[in-house]
Amino acid sequence: MDSHSVPAGLVLQLIDLVTRWDVTSAALLEGTGVAVDSLADEETRVPLGVYLAIVARARDLTAEPGLGFCMGLHARVSAYGHLGFAAMSAATLREALDLAIRFSPMTTTALGLRLRIEGRDASLIVEEDADYGNVRDVVVIARLSGLWKMAYALTGRNPNGTAEMAFEQPAYHARFAHLVPPARYDQPTNRIILKVEALEFPLIMADPVALSLALEQCEKALESFGSADRFVHTVRKLLWKADG
């Protein structure tokens, strides 16, 4: 787990979210060894184990078992720095997803992304490459609902679709069912299933010049990852091309 990390922006996003329950950043980060000032640097990475401890603490302090849905619905593309800027500047939803997959280690190497096309359906598969312990449901639900929310925000159109998750349906699901796509649990994989036409939805903020500038920064950031991370990323990219 120590080899995995997440961008500081995800912690900042969580800090912003828990203020709705009057939880301060100091309370959330207490005992984690993370200084809130250090999170302002876009280059800062938080070890996965520390991030999971912060997520668990957020769930305890807010007393909200469905925190994963809250995190997903609160998701902002800007939390992903240069990658988020690149995704916002892409021409279509497919191009934005291609970028998310290509530069997935910038988000985390602990959750892989893969796009699979089967007839008229497109599946965005989220692969678990780490043990998330007792916050697994929070992390996976936040990822899936966040991807759906950001697709909606980027295109200004509801991508519709359904979600599938590889664990039992939590008791809190019914409270959030009206806010997210229909979901099925106890499935073989974690994924969002869309109609393939949704991939061609144009993005509201498409900008080829901005995209080019952001891609330069993404390439530099990807190069900063260790050789092992790059090897895993390359293998995932080859598998994704084979599926597509």
pLDDT of residue 17: 97
Angle CA 3–189–112, to nearest 5: 30
- Sheet with 190-195, strands from edge to edge, namely 111-118, 121-128, 190-195, 162-164, 183-184
For residue 5, the cross-strand partners are: 47
pLDDT of residue 108: 86
pLDDT of residue 2: 58
Q: What is the pLDDT along the chain (244 residues), one digit of tens a residue?
A: 558 888 888 999 999 999 999 999 999 999 999 999 989 887 788 999 999 999 999 999 999 999 999 999 999 898 888 999 999 999 999 999 999 999 988 888 899 999 999 999 999 999 999 999 999 999 999 999 999 999 999 999 999 899 999 999 999 999 999 999 999 999 999 999 999 999 999 999 999 999 999 999 999 888 776 544 444 444 444 444 444 4
**For residue 1, what are its two tokens?**
């787990």
Q: Return phi, psi of residue 30, to 5°.
A: -55, 130
What span, in angstroms and rounded, lies between the C-alpha atoms of 27 and 49? 18
**For residue 96, what are its two tokens?**
């934005």
Decide if 57 contacts 28 (C-beta within 8 A).
yes
